[in-house]
Amino acid sequence: MVMEYVAGQDLQMFFRDIDNLKEKEARVIFKQFVSAVHHLHQRHIAHRDIKLDNILIDNAGNIKLCDFEMATQVAEGQMLQENCGTLLYMAPEILAAKRYDAPAGDKWSMGILLYALVTGYFPYEETTAHALYRLITHTKFAVPCHLSIPCHTIIARLLLVPPRHSLTICEVLESSWLGHI
């Protein structure tokens, strides 16, 4: 696979300099990102390793999704078993080594990514899959009160367990938080 050159850095490096984004800035980045994932999912492709490191940002604030090493073609309703991704971004069903819907796993990672964009840290921090799974399934994450209700709603609705109740990509794109950009 050949990708275009992006003069800039990944979002992980970008955050080392600024800690976190204001919601207004995060909305612009997140909408581009959601549009990229929507494009993949429309073509029945799941990325399966969504994280700050795999999003490049250029000097004009445009983003590109990269690192498609774990991406896979999935049929509608196909369940996968392979455990892949990056620990802090993994959906609970992947952490538990259960069969999972790969696009739903991408949506969970999107929720983690948005949380990190607007807070500067992760909602859950553990070092093993088992400990992280227990934390996710036995505790509620705290969304900082400084976030707007529409932003809070997107995060909360992307990080739902079980994933069948989470927002669809189209619902995220059409949300009041992203809809006016």
Indicate which residues carry an active-site annotation.
Answer: 49
What is the CA angle 69-110-163, rounded to 5?
A: 100
CA distance 179 to 104: 21
Tell me the chain's radius of gyration from C-alpha atoms.
15
User: Residue 83: CB partners within 8 Å, gap ≥ 6?
Assistant: 94, 97, 129
User: Cα(47)–Cα(36) distance, rounded to whole angstroms?
Assistant: 10
Residue 73 · residue 45 · CB < 8 Å? yes
d(CA 132, CA 34): 25
Closest CA to 166 of 175, 156, 177, 180: 156
Vertex 100 angle, CA 94 and 105, to 5°: 65
